[in-house]
Structure formats: structure tokens, C-alpha cells
């Protein structure tokens, strides 16, 4: 098989050639052997009770003269609409659960830090802490008049921790961020539709209940709960994870980083950080700069310690510390195939089980660190715990260093390495594009109204082995910036863009339309703004809300000339993210595959029906350039409605 048909990344092509030459199996080989089930991929297989699985794909169109076959229903009578909606809903539930459970870990750590019980951590961003506390009605001071005293960071954080932790098990009412941070008009719309989320866990559990055998069998009602659950992710769990991580680890500001497999160094101990939760990676980064650790690495013959990231943990430490990113989702095996990785440290989400067998071909230690994410055959399990963070980080690092002398396969590190400017939090964009009115998105809006910037595209999401790796990401983003659409990116799209050099101010000259290029040059920013990991899609929501607040572009997110996309999505998290964008009023288009084609009626509801309810809707288009053009058409439609 030609490696060019698998990935567009030359560094990864080189590693795939090595894999082929040495008979090492990768995800692409397994994908060749495993054809997707045509019924399951349409969402048309129900296996939620043991009378099935029941398969209800749309009947083939009858040939002339033949009688048209009827649409099948499940043994219990469940229609294709119900079955497909149930499968879709369970994706929303799993995705939302992943983000919210991530937030739970951060919230627990936050509480321990507030009480001084978590060595190695601090409350770094006091300004953000106070902003969140204000939303949660936690008092910032005590006493009145002359006796009024500010409360300490710790006192505020202790109260705030109790309030955020209570939201996980909250049974009624509204989530704080959903009601306070979305534009007023959006909140009123959600209240009117009765989709305000009540509690993080409740919304996920309720989807699981409703999609149990014989409960919710009205597809619109199932999607209604999807909306509530997805809002509790975007304007809830994900937003909480992002905000509390900023308090603990610092709100990102622009920083220079490097990307692609060329960031690994033959003469260094190479440690790959892979997963999603930055709690332990923050401390591994700190430990890697400890002179004692460095000495230890030297005693084993290495020149130093090189950390590099994969997936969203990579995005987290890249944008806060400039730690280079080695690869996105589909590159995780290829990093090990360099023979240069002394340890791969994983936490949760998007980690191939195949890593465990792959590391056996090399010297790499696969270290799992989260009790929720063990991998059978892992080399080692070093569980993270809030109370002994620095010790655990040093232990992990020591394992990597001890492994440096054990390299056995010849080390082949591709030379590709590209710089990137990252760290565009909502606050940083506000600062850079606030213009004369700092503290708002005024300049950005002004540029949109003036037409130099045509609109905003949020392009995010995974890799998918069923598509040419990174190709859809890059062609979509290039088409958008060529047409003056500024791109906000997170997740594996951000890493694909980094590897292509799109996250540099120079990319503006090379790839952008004249208007966007001018704005980027004036402000000195890349045309593609790296906003972080997948939970940081909440930053895109906050940026959208800030655009609405700055004025001139309507009263709601659905008025903005903006669109969202995940051109190579594969995970359930992507569906939850997509659905919260739709629920926030954004036109959201996916490529690669679409999981509801088993019901034309349901698909039509998601693609068209939702627009009249939520102002946002789903769409699907296989060709990423055509998808970009559809985003631009939507942006133009919104511009026309605004009269700009
Ligand atoms: O949370 S983009 S493949 S790494 S799921 Fe996974 Fe998808 Fe990458 Fe990050 Ni997000
Ligand atoms: Fe079949 Fe109904 Fe059971 Fe689903 S719930 S497997 S459609 S009988």
C-alpha cells in the first residue's frame, strides 16, 4: 500500500514505510482488514436488548416493476427514527460524560489546592478565579464599609470548589455557566425550549435511561434531551474544565512551539505525554526542569530530557509551556516507531489499545497513570493522585530515564519540525483584537463589518483512519482562510495545522485572502488561532459570546457570520461538541462519516428542522473543500441578514 494514500504528512509517511519494511502493524493495516458494518455505520442497528440486535437500514429503492419494500422496524416496533436517534443520543451522552468527568478531576484537584493539600500546584490566575467566583456568587470580600476586607484566593477557592462540585449532582435549576455566560437571547431561547441543563451527571444519566429499551420512542424528544445534555457539556463540563485549568495552570498567552516528529531528539530522553488531562503533565514538565533530574538523565548517557505531546494533553502543555507537539491522534503509533521514545505516558481518551503490543517491538515503556484508563499489557501503572503529584511525576520521569540505555531498534527520527504560535485563549484574542476599546471584541467585529474578515470558522476535531490523514483538515482550513474566514482551531485539527505551518503569522501571506492577510499582518497573528484542546472548544463558545457582546453583529450567536466543522471526526466527544455548537446557534458541518443516515427523517430534522428551533443545524459533506464552501455560503447568508 502506498503510504501517500494514508497520510499527507511526510514525516509520518517515512515512519509508515519503516513499519511496512519491518512488518509492524499500524491502525491503517487493521483498518484494511476491518470493513465498517454498513448497517451500524448508518446508526440503524439496535442492540440495547437481547431480542435483537435489530437492523433497520433504509430499504433499497425498488426497480421499475418491483414492489417497494417497506421500512423495517425492530422486534419491539421501534422505528428507524427511534433507533438511529437512540444511537446518536448515546454518542452525545458518552462525549459529554468524557468532558464532564475530566472536569470532575480538575474540580477535585482545585478543591485540594484551595485547602493547601495538593503540593506542586497553586492558584495561578487570581483574576480568573475571581471572575468565576463572581458567576457563582461566591463573595470576594467580607464586612461592610470601613471593615470591608478582601478574601484570600484560598478562601474564595474553597467556597467555589464546593459550589462547582455540587453542580455534578445537582438535580434541578440551571448550571451557572449555561445561564450566565451565554448571550441573554440564547439563554431565553433555551429556557423557552426547556433545554437548560440541570446537573452534569443528571443529563448523561437521563440519556442512558431514555435510550433504555422501551422508554423514549419519539425521535424529536430524544434529540431534545441531546440538546440539554450537549449544552451541559459545552456551557458546563468542558467550560468548567477549561476555566479551572486556567486558574490552576495559567490562562494561555501566545507562545512559540514546535511540531511534528522532528521534535524528538536522539541524544535526549524522549517522553511522550499522550491523552487529555493536564494535571500530571504539568508536574512532569516541572520535574523535567529539575536540575537533579537532568543530572540523573546525564548519568544514564543522555544529553537532556525532551518532553513532547500527542493529542490534547499535548495541546494543553504546548499552549501553556511551549512543549513541542509530536503528532495528533493518528500519529501515536508512528512516534513509537521512531525507536526514540523512552516512555509514553497516557491518561485518558484517544489512546489505542494497540500501543500495548506495539511497545513490545521497541524499548518504549507504556505508562498508564489514571485508574479510569488502564490498558491490558501496559508496561507500568503509576496512578496519579492529587496529594503526591510531584513525587509521582518524578517517578514517571525516572522510569523514562532508566529506560534510555535500553534502546534497541535503530533510532530513525524524521527531520520535519515546524514552528507554531499558539495560546490564543478567549482573553488573549480579546486583548489582541480589542483595538481601541480594550476588553471587547470590537476590532474583530469592526473588521467583520468592514469585510476584511468575512467571518469566523471553528474547525476542530479528530483524525479518522477512514480518511487520508490530515488532508481534510488542511484543505478545509486553507479554503477558509483563502476566502478571508479567520479560523479558530482546537484538538487534532490544531495539531494538523501546526505541522503544516498554518499557525504562524507568515501563513497569512502565503495562504490568505487580501483582507484577512492585512488584519493578520497588522496585529501580528496567524490566520489560524490555536485555542487549545477539545475541552477548550468552550473557549470558542466564549469568544462567540464576546463577539455578540461587542456589538454590531446581532444579538445572538446564531446571528454571527460563523460556522463550525470537524472534517476528520471519529470520537463520541466530537458528536457532543458538534451538538452543543448546533444548540448554541452555529451551522456545524462534519466530514468523514455521518452516523444517522439510517433515518432520512431524523437526518432531515438534524440538518434542517433544528434551524427553526435553535438557529443552528447540522450538515454533512464528504469533500472538505465543498464543506468549506458551504460554511462560507452560510457565513454570507448571515452577513446578508445583518446587512453587511
Ligand atoms: O479530545 S480531537 S482524536 S485527541 S477526541 Fe481525540 Fe478527537 Fe483528537 Fe483530543 Ni478531541
Ligand atoms: Fe430490537 Fe427493540 Fe430490542 Fe432494540 S429494543 S434490540 S429494536 S427489540
**C-alpha distance from residue 17 to each of 10, 14, 323, 354, 363 (Å):** 10, 5, 27, 18, 20
3-state secondary structure of 620: strand
| Pocket of ligand 2 contains residue 80 by CB under 6 Å | no
User: What residue's CA is closest to ligand 2, atom 6?
Assistant: 52
| Ligand 1 atom at shortest distance from the alpha carbon of 349 | 6
**C-alpha distance from residue 353 to each of 200, 224, 349, 359, 364 (Å):** 28, 34, 11, 11, 15
Name the nearest CA neighbour of 450 among 358, 542, 516, 364.
516
| Pocket of ligand 2 contains residue 75 by CB under 6 Å | yes
| Ligand 1 atom at shortest distance from the alpha carbon of 570 | 7
Asked if CATH classification 2.60.40.10 holds for the domain at 261-406, the reply, yes or no, is no
* pLDDT at 435 (0 to 100): 61
Q: How many CA atoms lie within 13 A of 258 on its CB side?
A: 14
Spatial strand order of the sheet with 255-259 comes to 380-381, 365-368, 341-346, 269-274, 305-310, 325-327, 255-259, 418-422
* pLDDT at 441 (0 to 100): 87
Res 392 pLDDT > 90: yes
For the residues 591-617, what does the mean pLDDT come to?
A: 98
Distance 228 CA to ligand 1 centre (A): 22
Query: What digits encode the pLDDT tens for the residues 319-336?
Result: 999 999 999 999 999 999
* pLDDT at 442 (0 to 100): 85
User: What residue's CA is closest to ligand 2, atom 5?
Assistant: 213
Q: Given this chain, do its domains 80-141+151-249 and 261-406 carry the same CATH topology?
A: no
Distance 348 CA to ligand 1 centre (A): 11
* pLDDT at 433 (0 to 100): 84
For the residues 190-219, what does the mean pLDDT come to?
A: 98
Identify the sign of the CA torsion 149, 154, 158, 163: positive
Hey, what's the cell of 459? 474547525
Query: What digits encode the pLDDT tens for the residues 533-568?
Result: 999 999 999 999 999 999 999 999 999 999 999 999
Distance 536 CA to ligand 1 centre (A): 11
Distance 226 CA to ligand 2 centre (A): 20
| Pocket of ligand 2 contains residue 52 by CB under 6 Å | yes
User: What residue's CA is closest to ligand 1, atom 1?
Assistant: 534
CATH of 80-141+151-249, one of 1.10.40.30, 3.30.390.50, 1.20.120.530, 1.20.1270.30: 1.20.1270.30
Cα 224 to chain centroid distance, Å, stands at: 23
Q: Where are the domains of the chain?
A: 3-44, 80-141+151-249, 261-406, 421-642
CA–CA dist 183, 28 (Å, integer):
44
34: left (phi over 0), alpha (psi -120 to 50) or beta: beta
**C-alpha distance from residue 352 to each of 161, 395, 527 (Å):** 34, 24, 32
Distance 82 CA to ligand 2 centre (A): 10
Mean pLDDT of the chain: 97
| Ligand 2 atom at shortest distance from the alpha carbon of 56 | 7
Distance 493 CA to ligand 1 centre (A): 9
User: What residue's CA is closest to ligand 2, atom 4?
Assistant: 46
Give the ligand whose atoms come closest to the C-alpha of residue 532.
Answer: 1
* pLDDT at 377 (0 to 100): 97
Mutate to test the pocket of ligand 2, among 43, 50, 76 (most ligand atoms within 8 A of CB): 76
CA–CA dist 598, 79 (Å, integer):
10
For the residues 310-326, what does the mean pLDDT come to?
A: 98
User: What residue's CA is closest to ligand 1, atom 3?
Assistant: 462
Res 434 pLDDT > 80: no
Give the ligand whose atoms come closest to the C-alpha of residue 351.
Answer: 1
User: What residue's CA is closest to ligand 2, atom 7?
Assistant: 74
CA–CA dist 306, 265 (Å, integer):
7
* pLDDT at 437 (0 to 100): 59
Give the ligand whose atoms come closest to the C-alpha of residue 212.
Answer: 2
Distance 554 CA to ligand 2 centre (A): 46
Distance 569 CA to ligand 2 centre (A): 28
Give the ligand whose atoms come closest to the C-alpha of residue 46.
Answer: 2
Distance 62 CA to ligand 2 centre (A): 26
Whole-number percent of the chain with pLDDT over 70: 99
Name the nearest CA neighbour of 539 among 588, 577, 501.
577
* pLDDT at 122 (0 to 100): 98
Q: Is 49 exposed, middle or buried (0-12, 13-18, 19+ CB in 10 A)?
A: middle
Mutate to test the pocket of ligand 1, among 241, 272, 329 (most ligand atoms within 8 A of CB): 329
Residues in the ligand 1 pocket, defined by CB under 6 Å: 276, 311-312, 328-329, 350, 461-463, 491-492, 534, 571, 573-574
Asked if CATH classification 3.40.50.2030 holds for the domain at 421-642, the reply, yes or no, is yes
User: What residue's CA is closest to ligand 2, atom 2?
Assistant: 76
For the residues 394-407, what does the mean pLDDT come to?
A: 98
Q: State the pLDDT confidence band at 497, using cuts at 50, 70 and 90.
A: very high
Res 438 pLDDT > 70: no
Hey, what's the cell of 153? 484566593
Give the ligand whose atoms come closest to the C-alpha of residue 54.
Answer: 2
Hey, what's the cell of 423? 495560546
| Pocket of ligand 2 contains residue 51 by CB under 6 Å | yes
User: What residue's CA is closest to ligand 2, atom 3?
Assistant: 49
**How many other CB atoms are there within 10 angstroms of residue 117's CB atom?**
12
Contact 243, 593 (CB under 8 A): no
Q: How many CA atoms lie within 13 A of 429 on its CB side?
A: 32
Mutate to test the pocket of ligand 2, among 39, 83, 210, 211 (most ligand atoms within 8 A of CB): 83
Amino acid at each position: 500500500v502506498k503510504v501517500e494514500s494514508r497520510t499527507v504528512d511526510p514525516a509520518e509517511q517515512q515512519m509508515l514505510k519503516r513499519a511496512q519494511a519491518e512488518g509492524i502493524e499500524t491502525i491503517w493495516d487493521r483498518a484494511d482488514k476491518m470493513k465498517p458494518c454498513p448497517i451500524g455505520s448508518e446508526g440503524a442497528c439496535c442492540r440495547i436488548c437481547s431480542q435483537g440486535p435489530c437492523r433497520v437500514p433504509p430499504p433499497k429503492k425498488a426497480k421499475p416493476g418491483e414492489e417497494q419494500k417497506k421500512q423495517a422496524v425492530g422486534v419491539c416496533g421501534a422505528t428507524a427514527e427511534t433507533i438511529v436517534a437512540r444511537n446518536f443520543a448515546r454518542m452525545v451522552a458518552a462525549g459529554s460524560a468524557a468532558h464532564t468527568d475530566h472536569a470532575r478531576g480538575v474540580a477535585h484537584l482545585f478543591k485540594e489546592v484551595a485547602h493547601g493539600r495538593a503540593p506542586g500546584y497553586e492558584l495561578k490566575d487570581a483574576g480568573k478565579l475571581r471572575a468565576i467566583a463572581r458567576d457563582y456568587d461566591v463573595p470576594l470580600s467580607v464586612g461592610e464599609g470601613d471593615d470591608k476586607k478582601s478574601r484570600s484566593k484560598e478562601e474564595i477557592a474553597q467556597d467555589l470548589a464546593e459550589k462547582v462540585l455540587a453542580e455534578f449532582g445537582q438535580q434541578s435549576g440551571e448550571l451557572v455557566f449555561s445561564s450566565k455566560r451565554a448571550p441573554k437571547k440564547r439563554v431565553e431561547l433555551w429556557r423557552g425550549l426547556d433545554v437548560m441543563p440541570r446537573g452534569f451527571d443528571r443529563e448523561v444519566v437521563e440519556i442512558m435511561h431514555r435510550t433504555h429499551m422501551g422508554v423514549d420512542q419519539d425521535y424529536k424528544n430524544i434529540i431534545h434531551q441531546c440538546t440539554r445534555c450537549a449544552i451541559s457539556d459545552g456551557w458546563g463540563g468542558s467550560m468548567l474544565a477549561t476555566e479551572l485549568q486556567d486558574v490552576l495552570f495559567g490562562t494561555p498567552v501566545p507562545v512559540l512551539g514546535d511540531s511534528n516528529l522532528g521534535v524528538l531528539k536522539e541524544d535526549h530522553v524522549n517522553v511522550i505525554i499522550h491523552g487529555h488531562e493536564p494535571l500530571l503533565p504539568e508536574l512532569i514538565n516541572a520535574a523535567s526542569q529539575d536540575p537533579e533530574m537532568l543530572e540523573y538523565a546525564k548519568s544514564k548517557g543522555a544529553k537532556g530530557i525532551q518532553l513532547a505531546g500527542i493529542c490534547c494533553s499535548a495541546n494543553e502543555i504546548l499552549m501553556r509551556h511551549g512543549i513541542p507537539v509530536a503528532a495528533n491522534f493518528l500519529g501515536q503509533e508512528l512516534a513509537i516507531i521512531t525507536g526514540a521514545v523512552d516512555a509514553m505516558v497516557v491518561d485518558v481518551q484517544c489512546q489505542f489499545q494497540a500501543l500495548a503490543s506495539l511497545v513490545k517491538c521497541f524499548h518504549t515503556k507504556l505508562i498508564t497513570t489514571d485508574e479510569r484508563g488502564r490498558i491490558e499489557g501496559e508496561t507500568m501503572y503509576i496512578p496519579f493522585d492529587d496529594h503526591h503529584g510531584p513525587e509521582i511525576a518524578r517517578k514517571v520521569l525516572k522510569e523514562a530515564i532508566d529506560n534510555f540505555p535500553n534502546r534497541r531498534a535503530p533510532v530513525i527520527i524524521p527531520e520535519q519540525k515546524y514552528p507554531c504560535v499558539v495560546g490564543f485563549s478567549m482573553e488573549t484574542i480579546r486583548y489582541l483584537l480589542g483595538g481601541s476599546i480594550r476588553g471587547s471584541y470590537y476590532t474583530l467585529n469592526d473588521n467583520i463589518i468592514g469585510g476584511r474578515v468575512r467571518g469566523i470558522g471553528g474547525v476542530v476535531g479528530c483524525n479518522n483512519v477512514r480518511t487520508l490523514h490530515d488532508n481534510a483538515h488542511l484543505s478545509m482550513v486553507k479554503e477558509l482562510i483563502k476566502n478571508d474566514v479567520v479560523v479558530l482551531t482546537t484538538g487534532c485539527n490544531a495539531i494538523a495545522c501546526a505541522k503544516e505551518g498554518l499557525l504562524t503569522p507568515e501563513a497569512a501571506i502565503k495562504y490568505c485572502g487580501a483582507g484577512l492577510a492585512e488584519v493578520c499582518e497588522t496585529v501580528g497573528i496567524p490566520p489560524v488561532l490555536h485555542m487549545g484542546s477539545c475541552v477548550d472548544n468552550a473557549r470558542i463558545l466564549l469568544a462567540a459570546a464576546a463577539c455578540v457582546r461587542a456589538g454590531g453583529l446581532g444579538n445572538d450567536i446564531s446571528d454571527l457570520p460563523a460556522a463550525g466543522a470537524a472534517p476528520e471526526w471519529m470520537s463520541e466527544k466530537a458528536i457532543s461538541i458538534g451538538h452543543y455548537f448546533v444548540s448554541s446557534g452555529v451551522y456545524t458541518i462534519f466530514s468523514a462519516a455521518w452516523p444517522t443516515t439510517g433515518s432520512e427523517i431524523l437526518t432531515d430534522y438534524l440538518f434542517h428542522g433544528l434551524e427553526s428551533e435553535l438557529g443552528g443545524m447540522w450538515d454533512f459533506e464528504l469533500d472538505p473543500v465543498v464543506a468549506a464552501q458551504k460554511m462560507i455560503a452560510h457565513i454570507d447568508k448571515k452577513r446578508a441578514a445583518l446587512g453587511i
